[in-house]
């Protein structure tokens, strides 16, 4: 069953076509990978889905309902969450408060701060940040902030989670931990996840299906094996499909 | 998270009780001093409710004070004072909603100068209206006595403090602070930023409107250049920066400090007073933006960061 | 109606316009290169006015010389302010982050300090002096000598600065700095030196404007703020970093104000300025960011 559908979406910024007639769909419970060189349009695609940008053409449907053009906070309440590529913690607030924002204003719209706090603590435990719960968010390391970003996105109780390059800047150990965490979260919460990654190994490992973007358009779509052997992809990447990037 | 707050707020509640009983405990000088203190406290607490929590620094809050004063002046003789005061508050709140519509789309320093510019614009508009009406200043006689007005002011200050205290700890407070920390992320997570900003802005205008109305009764005198004076806005912001703009205790520290400074300097050396205030603002903005309350908090938390 | 079409009003508008352009050019240089909203800019104008007033009334020195002195002092102050305060402020990133949000309050505090220091020294009442008060007539237009002088000097300086910025190497460097700070450094330009020069020039122009104004109207410690507002309006109208835009914008504002007041009443002057200010801020908030997307 299809949860999210992107139909012929185009987005221009002045003279630049960032997203060019892109169509794909994501099934319920799927983990989909989104791949492409810098500037291929991946983050813009996320922005369009989350409502931070409006598409110039085409439509985006969640559960069959068009959501393109809606305000980001409304889209969030419908169950779409996003972990940003450049992490945006609420620096002056504690880790706990950061996650509480998700509980209070996400899909659940929790009214009680006490309940929100309790739930937030649970989620913080799930991402492994329990010992930092009362610290200021800007005191965390990069890896910690990425976990916080995910925790906050989870607190909004999403059906559909977008992870934008959450592995960037992590050591191999941290990457392995993050992959395990994502797998666990996805299965426990029955999430549908779309992941943007440059760390190829991660993408091949986590995602049964991958969409490749290039210059704003869809270049190829398929299993990791299919993608890594696709002539067009190889041409575009000159060998990136085979070995993991550092 | 709430344990360390109780001592501060307990002290403040006790202090309010003492202040409220001043007319029976002390002479008119102390009452006058406390009157000023309560006024600045009420104004700044309201300011912190919006600007402190959302980070949208309003440098034009005097416009709400002035508007409230003008409402009282226009109602004088036709409506009872006791009705005019809340009316002033409501109209000030409405003004904020009106001004908020264009202003709240603009961020950062542009919001600051925009609020300042609008306050000045409205000031000059009122000046012109008054001169068209043939009035250059107005006198408002027959209002309630100082002691009664004092209790009203204490009440306003207490309500404003309570509002800031409660909101900061509420769900709305979390939303407002999220807006301050990162507005785009807040909206993406699900905070209706436009609505929250607008309501907080309006809420922050109501008490200043009522304060303005009460002050007109107290001084029995209204003159638009004074009622809408940017010095009022500047003082409010200074109190908040010096005392701390994140929570209710901040304006208490700041207002106390300011009124004492005023008592010492204003009568004889007004320029020196302003210079000191300016220097303090510069100092705190550069090196201690969380103000005195920030110091207290750091000390309470044992420097954890 | 006659009054409206008179050459007199036209000349008055031109004088006002060029003075505004002068002030705005200065702010453009400072704000353009530093990206800090210096709302104490009007106080620099005020200081220039007081220096001239003081020199003239104290020593009888010709205001023409005082103009130069004010401008040089202003430039020196700008240089010192940059070297002393702002350079280190830019280098320390944590201060910069806080500065971005609070820079306005910072400069507001500075302007309050300056206003009150001058008020303490000179008293708050209006001061003035007579200079070239004689009325000169040509082509049916009557104008005081001082206004004519101000017109001439401000016009020449404005055009001169614009030409300098457009055709000299320094000018190119300054314009590069306004457009893209990092790229300018990479290209090998001594950003520090260019910045210091911009500051000096910016302060100097403001001080000159103040000196010129002091010949035409009475001065007070609180006269600066309307010029700050005017300068911002002009920059938004003309575009940040766009020097010719500042000249054109200044003239537009000068005309708007002069003819607006002529059509209504002198008491409407403030309403006009603030009204235009609000209007421009709301209509073109990106005008403050400059015509193009400027990288920081």
The residue of B181, B190, B191, B246 whose CB has the most chain A CBs within 10 angstroms, and thus the best one to mutate to test that interface, is B190
CA A21 to chain CA centroid, nearest Å: 21
Partner residue opposite B124 with nearest CB, options C37, C99, C274: C274
Q: Any bridge partners for residue A66, and if so which? A: A61
Does the structure show a pLDDT above 60 at C95? no
Minimal Cβ distance to B121: which of C95, C100, C278: C278
Three-state DSSP state, B295? helix
C70 lies in a domain? yes
Residue in B106, B121, B271 nearest the CB of C116: B271
> Does residue B208 contact residue B251 with C-beta atoms inside 8 Å?
no
**Interface mutation target, options B54, B58, B110, B245, chain C, most CBs of C under 10 Å:** B110
pLDDT for the residue numbered C91: 55
Q: What is d(CA B75, CA B83) in angstroms, rounded to the nearest whole number?
A: 9
Whether residue C148 lies within 8 A of chain B, CB to CB, comes out as no
Terminal alpha carbon distance of chain B? 14
The SS3 assignment for B227 reads helix
DSSP-derived 3-state class of residue B154: helix
Average model confidence (pLDDT) for chain C? Answer: 82
B215 touches chain A (CB under 8 A): no
Q: What residue has token string 């000045």?
A: B120
Instruction: Tell me the pLDDT tens digit for each residue of C131-146.
Output: 666 666 666 667 777 8
Q: What is the pLDDT of residue C172?
A: 85
Q: How far is A79 from chain B (nearest CA, A)?
A: 10
Residue B280 lies in a domain: no
Residues C204 and B188: their CA atoms lie apart, in Å, by 46
Nearest to C113 among B57, B118, B279 (CB): B279
Q: For chain A, give the secondary structure using H, E and C.
A: CEEEEEEEEEEEECCEEEEEEEEEEEECCCEEEEECCCCCCHHHHHHHHHCCCCCCEEEEEECCEECCCCCHHHHHHCCEEEECCCCCCCCCCEHHHHHHHHHHHCCCCCCCHHHHHHHHHHHHHHCCCHHHCCCEHHHCCHHHHHHHHHHHHHHCCCCEEEEECCCCCCCHHHHHHHHHHHHHHHHHHCCEEEEECCCHHHHHHHCCEEEEEECCEEEEEECHHHHHHCHHHHHHHCCCCCCCCC
Domains: count for chain B: 1
CA B238/CA B251 separation, integer angstroms: 10
Mean pLDDT of C221-232: 90
Identify the pLDDT of residue B53: 94
Statement: residue C3 has pLDDT above 80: no
For the whole model, what pTM was predicted?
0.86
Instruction: Please judge whether A90 and B305 are an interchain contact, meaning their C-beta atoms are less than 8 angstroms apart.
Output: no
Q: What is the pLDDT of residue C57?
A: 83
Which residues in B lie closer than 8 A to residue C27 (C-beta atoms)? none
Distance from CA of B277 to the nearest CA of C (A): 8
Between CA C38 and CA C34 the distance in angstroms is 9
Which residue, A3, A2, A43, A45, is CA-closest to A20? Answer: A45
Cβ atoms of A210 and A32 closer than 8 Å: yes
Q: Report the distance separating Cα B146 and Cα B38, nearest Å.
A: 13
C103 contacts chain B (CB < 8 A): yes
Closest chain B CA to residue C114: B275
Residue A171 pLDDT: 86
Are the beta carbons of A101 and A107 closer than 8 angstroms?
no
Q: Do B285 and C229 touch (CB under 8 A)?
A: no
Q: Residues B170, A113: contact at Cβ < 8 Å? A: yes
ipTM: 0.86
User: pLDDT-based confidence at C99, cuts 50/70/90?
Assistant: low
Whole-angstrom distance between the N-terminal and C-terminal Cα of chain C?
50
Note whether residue C227 is domain-resident: no
Q: What tokens were used for B17?
A: 């009780």
Return the residue of B nearest to A73 by Cα. B190
Q: Are B16 and B154 in contact (CB under 8 A)?
A: yes
Q: Is the pLDDT of residue C175 over 50?
A: yes
* pLDDT tens by residue, C262-283: 888 887 888 888 888 888 888 7
- Cα nearest neighbour of A81 on chain B: B189
pLDDT at residue number C135: 67
Q: Is A116 on the interface with B (CB under 8 A)?
A: yes
How many Å from the N-terminal Cα to the C-terminal Cα in chain A? 36
Closest C-chain CA to B56: C101
Question: Is C176 inside a domain boundary?
Answer: yes
The range of the structural domain enclosing residue B153 comes to 5-228
CA distance B193 to chain A (A): 8
Segment A86-126, tens digit of pLDDT: 888 998 899 999 999 999 998 888 899 999 999 999 999 98
Partner-chain contact A116 B185, CB within 8 Å: no
Quick one: pLDDT at residue A241? 47
Residue at B153 is within a domain? yes
Q: How many C-alpha atoms does C131 have within 13 Å on its Cβ side?
A: 27
Please indicate whether, in this complex, the C-beta atoms of C271 and B124 are within 8 angstroms of each other: yes
> Mean pLDDT of all residues in chain A?
88
CB atoms < 10 A from the CB of A128, how many? 15
Identify the residue whose tokens are 């205008």: B205
What pLDDT, on a 0 to 100 scale, did the predictor assign at position C102?
74
Kindly give the confidence (pLDDT) of every residue in chain A, 246 residues in length, as a single tens digit, with 9 standing for 90 and above. 899 999 999 999 988 899 999 999 999 999 999 988 887 889 899 999 999 899 999 999 999 999 998 998 889 889 999 888 788 899 889 999 999 999 999 888 889 999 999 999 999 998 889 999 999 898 898 888 988 999 999 998 899 999 998 888 888 888 888 888 888 888 888 899 999 988 778 888 889 999 999 888 998 899 998 888 888 888 877 655 455 444
Contact call for B189 and A77, based on CB within 8 A: no
Best mutation target among B183, B228, B282 (most C Cβ atoms within 10 Å) is B282
Q: What is the pLDDT of residue B297?
A: 84
Nearest to C243 by CA among C167, C152, C151: C167
> Are the Cβ atoms of A91 and B181 closer than 8 angstroms?
yes
- Exposure of A57 by Cβ count < 10 A (0-12 exposed, 13-18 middle, 19+ buried)? middle
pLDDT at C4 over 70: no
What is the percentage of chain A residues whose pLDDT exceeds 90?
44
Q: Kindly list the residues from chain A whose CB atom is less than 8 angstroms away from the CB atom of residue B185.
A: 84, 88, 90
Residue B260 in any domain: the answer is no
CA B148 to CA B156: how far, in whole Å? 13
Tell me whether residue B211 is in a domain.
yes
Task: Specify if B155 maps to a domain.
Answer: yes
Long-range contacts of B80-88 (CB under 8 A, 24+ apart): B81/B143, B81/B144, B81/B217, B84/B213, B85/B152, B85/B210, B85/B213, B85/B214, B86/B210, B88/B209, B88/B210, B88/B212, B88/B213
Instruction: Specify the DSSP class assigned to residue C295.
Output: B
Q: What are the phi and psi torsion angles at A4 (to 5°)?
A: -120, 135
pLDDT at C295: 29
* C103, closest residue in chain B (CA to CA): B109
Give every residue of chain B whose pLDDT is below 50, as ranges: 1-3, 303-305
B182 interfaces chain A, CB cutoff of 8 Å: yes
Chain C residues lying within 8 Å of B127, measured CB to CB: 267
Both structure tokens of A242:
């085979």
Domain residues for the domain of C26 are 19-221
- Return the pLDDT at A19: 92
Domain count for chain C: 1
In order, the DSSP letters of C94-154 are HHHHHHHHHHHHHHHHHHHHHHHHHHHHH-SS-B----S-SEEEETTEEEEHHHHHHHHHH
User: Model confidence over C26-78: pLDDT tens digits?
Assistant: 998 888 887 777 889 999 999 999 999 888 888 877 778 888 888 898 899 88
Q: Would an 8 Å CB–CB cutoff place A135 in contact with chain B?
A: yes
Q: Does B264 touch chain C (CB under 8 A)?
A: no
Query: Does residue B244 form part of some domain?
Result: no
Q: Write the residue in C104, C112, C120 that is nearest to B109 by C-beta.
A: C104
Which among B181, B188, B305 has CB closest to A90? B181
Distances in Å between the Cα of C49 and the Cα atoms of C44, C86, C125, C213, C218 are 9, 24, 14, 7, 9
Neighbours of A170 (CB within 10 A): 18
Q: What is the pLDDT of residues C180-219, one digit of tens each?
A: 777 777 787 788 888 888 889 999 999 999 999 988 888 9
What CA–CA distances, in Å, run from A102 to A110, A127, B53, B136? 9, 15, 18, 54
Q: Are A117 and A96 in contact (CB under 8 A)?
A: yes
Are the Cβ atoms of B171 and A139 closer than 8 angstroms? no
Question: How high is the pLDDT of residue C136?
Answer: 66
pLDDT at C205: 94
Quote the pLDDT of residue A124: 92
Residue given tokens 């043939």 in the structure block: B134
Is position B256 within any domain? no
Structural domain includes residue C257: no
pLDDT for the residue numbered B254: 95
Distance CA C48, CA C44 (A): 6
Contacts of A133 (CB under 8 A, 6+ apart): A94, A95, A96, A121, A124
């Amino acid at each position: 069953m299809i949860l999210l559908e992107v139909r012929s979406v185009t987005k221009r910024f002045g003279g630049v076509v960032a997203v060019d007639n892109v169509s794909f769909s994501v099934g319920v419970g799927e983990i989909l990978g989104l791949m492409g060189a810098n500037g291929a349009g991946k983050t813009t695609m996320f922005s369009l889905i989350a409502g931070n940008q409006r598409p110039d053409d085409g439509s985006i449907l969640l559960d069959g309902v068009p959501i393109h053009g809606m305000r980001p906070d409304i889209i969030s309440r419908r169950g779409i969450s996003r972990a940003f590529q450049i992490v945006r913690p609420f620096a002056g607030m504690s880790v706990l408060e950061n996650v509480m924002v998700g509980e209070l204003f996400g899909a659940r719209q929790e009214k009680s701060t006490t309940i929100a706090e309790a739930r937030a603590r649970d989620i913080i435990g799930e991402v492994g940040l329990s010992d930092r719960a009362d610290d200021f968010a800007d005191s965390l390391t990069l890896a910690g902030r990425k976990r916080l970003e995910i925790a906050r996105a989870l607190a909004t109780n999403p059906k559909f989670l977008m992870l934008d390059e959450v592995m960037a800047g992590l050591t191999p150990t941290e990457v392995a931990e993050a992959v395990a965490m994502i797998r666990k979260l996805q299965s426990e919460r029955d999430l549908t996840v779309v992941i943007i990654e440059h760390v190829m190994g991660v993408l091949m490992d986590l995602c049964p299906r991958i969409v490749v973007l290039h210059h704003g358009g869809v270049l190829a779509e398929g299993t990791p094996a299919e993608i890594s052997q696709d002539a067009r992809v190889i041409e575009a990447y000159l060998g990136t499909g085979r070995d993991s990037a550092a | 998270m709430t344990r360390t707050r109780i001592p501060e707020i307990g002290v403040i509640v006790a202090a309010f009780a003492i202040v409220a009983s001043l007319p029976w405990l002390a002479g008119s000088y102390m009452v006058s001093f406390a009157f000023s203190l309560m006024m600045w406290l009420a104004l700044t607490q309201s300011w912190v409710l919006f600007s402190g929590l959302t980070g949208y620094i309003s440098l034009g809050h005097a416009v709400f004070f002035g508007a409230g004063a003008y409402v009282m002046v226009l109602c004088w003789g036709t409506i009872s004072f006791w009705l005019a005061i809340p009316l002033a508050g409501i109209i000030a709140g409405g003004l904020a909603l009106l001004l908020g519509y264009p202003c709240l789309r603009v961020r950062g320093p542009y919001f600051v100068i925009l609020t300042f510019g609008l306050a000045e614009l409205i000031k000059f508009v009122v000046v012109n209206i008054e001169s068209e009406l043939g009035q250059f200043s107005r006198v408002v006689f027959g209002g309630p006595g100082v002691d009664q007005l004092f209790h009203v002011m204490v009440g306003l200050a207490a309500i404003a403090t309570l509002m800031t205290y409660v909101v900061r700890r509420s769900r709305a407070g979390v939303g407002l602070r999220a807006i301050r920390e990162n507005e785009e992320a807040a909206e993406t997570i699900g905070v209706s930023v436009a609505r929250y900003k607008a309501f907080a802005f309006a809420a922050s205008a109501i008490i200043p409107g009522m304060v303005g109305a009460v002050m007109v009764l107290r001084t029995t005198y209204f003159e638009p250049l004074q009622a809408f004076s940017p010095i009022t806005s500047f003082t409010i912001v200074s109190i908040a920066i010096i005392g701390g703009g994140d929570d209710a205790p901040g304006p208490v520290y700041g207002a106390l400090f300011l009124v004492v400074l005023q008592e010492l300097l204003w009568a004889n050396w007004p320029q020196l007073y302003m210079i000191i205030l300016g220097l303090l603002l510069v100092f705190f903005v550069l090196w201690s933006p969380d103000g005195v309350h920030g110091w207290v908090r750091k000390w309470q938390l044992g420097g954890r960061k | 109606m006659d009054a409206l079409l008179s050459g007199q009003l036209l000349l008055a508008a031109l004088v006002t316009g060029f003075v505004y352009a002068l002030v705005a050019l200065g702010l453009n240089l400072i704000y353009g290169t530093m990206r800090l909203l210096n709302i104490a800019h009007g106080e620099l104008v005020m200081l220039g006015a007081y220096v001239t007033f003081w020199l003239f009334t104290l020593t009888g020195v010709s205001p023409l010389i005082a103009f130069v002195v004010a401008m040089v002092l202003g430039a020196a102050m700008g240089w010192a302010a940059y070297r002393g305060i702002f350079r280190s402020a830019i280098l320390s990133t944590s201060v910069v982050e806080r500065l971005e949000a609070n820079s306005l309050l910072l400069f507001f505090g500075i302007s309050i300090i300056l206003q009150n220091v001058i008020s303490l020294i000179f008293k708050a009442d209006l001061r003035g002096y007579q200079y070239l008060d004689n009325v000169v007539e040509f082509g049916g237009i009557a104008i005081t000598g001082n206004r004519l002088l101000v017109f001439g000097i401000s016009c020449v300086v404005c055009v001169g600065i614009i030409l300098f910025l457009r055709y000299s190497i320094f000018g190119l460097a300054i314009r590069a700095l306004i457009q893209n700070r990092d790229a300018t450094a990479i290209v090998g330009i001594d950003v520090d030196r260019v910045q210091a020069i911009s500051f000096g020039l910016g302060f100097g122009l403001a001080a000159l404007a103040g000196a010129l104004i002091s010949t035409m109207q009475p001065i007070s410690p609180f006269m600066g703020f309307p010029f700050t507002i005017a300068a911002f309006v002009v920059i938004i109208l003309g575009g940040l970093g766009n020097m010719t835009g500042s000249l054109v914008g200044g003239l537009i504002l000068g005309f708007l104000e002069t003819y607006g007041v002529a059509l209504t009443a002198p008491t409407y002057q403030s309403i006009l300025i603030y009204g235009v200010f609000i209007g421009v801020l709301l209509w073109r908030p990106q005008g403050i960011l400059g015509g193009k997307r400027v990288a920081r």
